[in-house]
Amino acid sequence: MHKVKTLRFKTGIGFFLIGLCVFLLSNVVDEWRAFQGATVAVYVVAIASIILLTGYSGQISLGHGALLGIGAYAAALAQIYAHLPIWLCFVAAVLVTAIFGALLGVAAARLSGPYLAGTTLALAVGLPSIASQFSILGGEQGISFSVGWPPLSLGSDFTQYKWFFWIATIAALIMMWFVRNILHSRYGRMWRAVKSNAVAAELAGIGIGSSKVLAFTISSGVAGLAGALLAMTTNNVSPSVFPLALSFSLATGAVLSGVNTLGGVMIGSLALVAIPEIASSVSNLWSESENTAMLLPELIVSALLILTVFLAPKGPIEKLRARHRH
């Protein structure tokens, strides 16, 4: 018990120091870096939701971008029609996506491996087309979602992108604290047991179906928050913001982070934000073609995924730990 309290105290100190670093960084970085920092925070939350579902529960999702989309639409609709405060819009995104995830989890509990991956992939493919058919969702143009301007008390030099940076980072820290605690709780141990040996877990009294549904529900709620944060940075919720490529990018980010560990989530997030810049630099050097600039990020993502699977299938953090143990 004493070790658990010590671990939680150290974790709390760690999160506080990260928050302090973010506060200091927000005062020195330019607008573009502040926007990138907010995007990194969004990816941290999104990738953490995949690690919880796949790395700990063993359920493969290739359509997490669709869950982000549901959270974004929920937040925007809550703001437009219910006129909720912005923080309640984020709560609405979590709750609505968690409910959707629970319903999906009931079906997912009966599926495994490629069947589950195919189901979530179909969701990511179909959701943008479905969303574009409803006028309440704004069709192809989508609907707006705004967190408003930063409070005047923060000063006239505190810009919109810095405000995004703050909100996204604080939300990411809170959610990472939540995910880390739940993965170290009895629920996390239960998911690992089911993933390792479902038969032995069932003999030990663990409900396999309810365990999988719970993992899908929590993972979806976390993804819903990421979707609302992403909509905040784009100021728009539309099918084009949540394409199929987003799901593949998030899956790649999770693999780069190490699907079995939460510790490397920043690696995958930074990589996803850096890839467009790398692609832009390469395309400017090699070709002026607009098609090359558009396709190169997807090519880099695919190459990184293949290289990571071959060189560090459990992620760079786990590989470093293995080297340290030897």
**Whether the predicted pLDDT of 326 surpasses 80:** no
311, part of any domain: no
More confident of the two residues 289 and 193: 193
Q: Band the pLDDT of 274: cuts 50, 70, 90.
A: confident
Among 93-102, 225-234, 297-306, the least confident range: 297-306
- What pLDDT shows up at residue 118? 81
Could you give phi then psi for residue 23, rounded to 5 degrees? -60, -45
Would you say residue 52 lies in a domain? yes
- Predicted pLDDT of residue 304: 75
| 83 token code pair | 């006129």
**Domain assignment of residue 88, given as a range:** 42-244
Q: Tell me: pLDDT of 190 over 80.
A: yes
The stretch 268-291 carries a mean pLDDT of: 76
In a domain? residue 126: yes
Span of 9-23, 82-96, 124-138, 161-175 with lowest mean pLDDT: 9-23
Total number of domains in the chain = 1
Element (H, E) at 248: helix 244-257
**How confident is the model over 29-52, as a mean pLDDT?**
92
163 is a domain residue: yes
- Rounded percentage of the chain residues whose pLDDT exceeds 90: 35
Domain annotation covers residue 279: no
Written as one string, the DSSP assignment of 193-227 is HHHH-HHHHHHTT--HHHHHHHHHHHHHHHHHHHH
pLDDT higher than threshold 70 for residue 9: no
Per cent of the chain over pLDDT 70 is 83
pLDDT reported for residue 315:
64
Residue 153 within any structural domain of the chain: yes
Q: With respect to residue 203, please indicate whether it lies within any of the assigned structural domains.
A: yes
Average pLDDT over residues 239-256: 89
Residue 224 main-chain phi, psi, to 5 deg: -60, -40
pLDDT at 199: 84
Q: For 130-152, how does the pLDDT look when each residue is reduced to its tens digit (9 = 90+)?
A: 888 888 888 888 999 999 888 88
* Mean per-residue pLDDT of the chain: 84
Alpha carbon distance 231, 250 (integer Å): 16
By three-state DSSP, how is residue 236 classified? strand
134 located within any domain: yes
- What's the pLDDT at 95? 97
User: Does the pLDDT at position 297 exceed 60?
Assistant: yes
The CA–CA distances, whole Å, from 146 to 31, 223, 262 equal 18, 19, 30
Provide the pLDDT for residue 289: 60
- Would you state the pLDDT for residue 293? 61
43: confidence class by pLDDT, cuts 50, 70, 90:
very high
